[in-house]
Amino acid sequence: MAYQIKYAYTCHIGKIRNNNEDNFWCCGEFLSAQNQGMSHIQSGCRKQSELPVMAVFDGMGGESCGEMAAFLAAESCGMHYKEQKERVRREGDRFLIEACEKMNQAVCNYGTENRIDSMGTTAAMLAFGDDIIYGCNLGDSRIYRSSSGKFGQISEDHILGRHFLGKAPLTQYLGMKEEDLQLVPSVSGYPIIEGDRYLICSDGITDMLSDGEIADIFTREISTEETVQVLVERALKKGGRDNITVILCEIEKQNENWWKRMWHQLKRHEGDIS
């Protein structure tokens, strides 16, 4: 099925933190290392061939290391996309795994050069291929899928056991040195189905809202932009204790008017040549 992606995204600093350690990569956009989030929700619609990768990053580490790790991951993600974007159509899973390796190396190199022992970032990514949508993650930033009335998490939380006091340590993240632990991203694939929605978010959402609360918001007949707005508002209302980053995508059939415009442009071009 020729399809297009309706999307909406934002990044909010939350109500408690003084700095924003989240970042993202969407439509070629990402935030600078030092930022205070976004003041608005960005939305739009693109053909699959124009928008095949989206990602959320949640940095960790003191003294601005978290911000830098998330920024480096987003920057590296964009560089890998520009170099290898044609592979997403047929090899989305391999593209994501290699992207994780490149991003991990970028964070590790920065840490080594600046003598920083503890810096890293989570990663949650989607790659939209011709026939399959691939999800990939490291850490506890999550990906959810809403399909045919069913809502559920499709990413894997890479955390060490359950901790009732504070956050559980991550077993996978970007910034892991090979001599310490092997980088093993979780990857899954799903068929292209019209109307399916995919949510990528940092734990600024999932620490404030249960899966049931998120699913309830998804049952509302509202736009992608309005859904993102409600998710952020609800997380802030319940405390907003962390930075919040959300990317929401919805699969639609390719706009027939677009194909007609392309056909007419081609015919006009042929007329000019002749």
59-105 tens-digit pLDDT: 998 767 999 999 999 999 999 999 999 999 999 999 999 999 999 99
Please tell me whether residue 67 adopts helix, strand or coil conformation: helix
pLDDT at 51: 80
Backbone angles phi, psi at 218, to 5 degrees: -70, -20
Domain, as residue range, for 212: 3-273
pLDDT at 49: 87
pLDDT at 61: 82
Please report, to the nearest 10 degrees, the dihedral formed by the alpha carbons of residues 42, 18, 54, 201 taken in order.
Answer: -100
**Confidence bin at 269 (pLDDT 50/70/90):** low
**Confidence bin at 165 (pLDDT 50/70/90):** low
146 contacts 196 by C-beta, under 8 angstroms: yes
**Confidence bin at 119 (pLDDT 50/70/90):** very high
Query: Looking at residue 122, which CATH number applies to its domain?
Result: 3.60.40.10
Strand bridging mode 120-121 / 244-253 = unpaired
- Between residues 270 and 81, which one has the greater pLDDT? 81
Number of domains in the chain: 1
pLDDT at 168 over 50: yes
pLDDT at 274: 39
What's the mean pLDDT when you consider all of the chain?
Answer: 92
**Confidence bin at 272 (pLDDT 50/70/90):** low
What mean pLDDT do residues 29-38 have? 97
Of 17-26, 100-109, 173-182, the range with the lowest mean pLDDT is: 173-182
Please tell me whether residue 233 adopts helix, strand or coil conformation: helix
pLDDT at 167: 76
Of 6-15, 111-120, 124-133, the range with the lowest mean pLDDT is: 111-120
What mean pLDDT do residues 182-196 have? 97
* Euclidean distance between CA atoms 8 and 77, whole angstroms: 19
**Confidence bin at 264 (pLDDT 50/70/90):** low
* Euclidean distance between CA atoms 28 and 34, whole angstroms: 18
pLDDT at 273: 46
Return the structure tokens found at 241: 């204790």
